[in-house]
Amino acid sequence: MKTIVRFFGTVIGGAVFAVIFQHSVYAGSPYDRLVVVTNKTEYGVMALYGSRASSTSWESNILTGRYIGPMRQLSVNFSDGSGACLIDLRADMSNGQKIEHRNFDACSLNEWTLYQQ
Residue 13 lies in domain: 1-30
Tell me, yes or no, if the pTM score tops 0.75.
Answer: no
Q: Are residues 57 and 85 in the same domain?
A: yes
For residues 26 and 82, which has the higher predicted lDDT (pLDDT)?
A: 82
Tell me the pLDDT tens digit for each residue of 81-112. Answer: 888 999 999 999 999 999 999 999 999 999 99
Q: Which helix (H) or strand (E) holds 50?
A: strand 45-52
Residues 55 and 110 in one domain: yes
Domain identity same for 42 and 22:
no
Q: Are residues 9 and 46 in the same domain?
A: no
- Stretch 29-52: mean pLDDT, rounded? 93
> Is the pLDDT assigned to residue 30 strictly greater than 80?
no
What CATH number is associated with residue 48? 2.60.40.2890
38 shares a domain with 26: no
Same-domain pairing of 47 and 12 = no
| For the chain, counts of helices (H) and of strands (E) | 1, 6
Burial track 60-96 (b if 16+ CB lie within 10 A, e otherwise):
eebbeeeebeeeebbebebbeeeebeebbbbbbbeee
The structural domain count of the chain equals 2
